């Protein structure tokens, strides 16, 4: 996604968590292979993947883009968890 590519180019920390979750601290994340959105609030976003769920917690979280099965999230991400 464009805003994440811009951040990588500017040198802001970017980390790959697992094979389908990319987090750029502190400004957002991109999750691939999302089947559905379970919950969206300013402090928590829950995404259903094929086999499990991803929970992102932080501040001012919002879904910036949802293209096909890829979701881009903006906001300060503090915590990422995978659960069933």
| Average pLDDT value for the chain | 80
- Mean pLDDT of the 69-73 span: 92
pTM to 2 decimal places: 0.76
pLDDT of residue 10: 44
Tokens of 53: 């769920």
How do residues 6-46 score in pLDDT, each as one tens digit? Answer: 544 444 444 455 547 788 767 889 898 899 999 999 999 99
CA atoms of 84 and 74, how far apart (whole Å): 24
Residue among 51, 53, 57 nearest 23 (CA):
57
Domains of the chain: 2-83 (2.60.40.2000)
């Amino acid at each position: 996604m464009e805003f994440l590519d811009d951040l990588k180019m500017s040198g802001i920390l970017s980390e790959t968590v697992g094979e389908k979750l990319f987090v750029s601290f502190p400004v957002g994340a991109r999750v691939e292979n999302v089947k559905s959105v379970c919950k969206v609030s300013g402090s928590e976003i829950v995404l259903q993947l094929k086999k499990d769920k991803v929970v992102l917690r932080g501040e001012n979280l919002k879904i910036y883009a949802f293209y096909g099965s890829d979701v881009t999230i903006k906001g300060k991400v503090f915590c990422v968890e995978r659960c069933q």
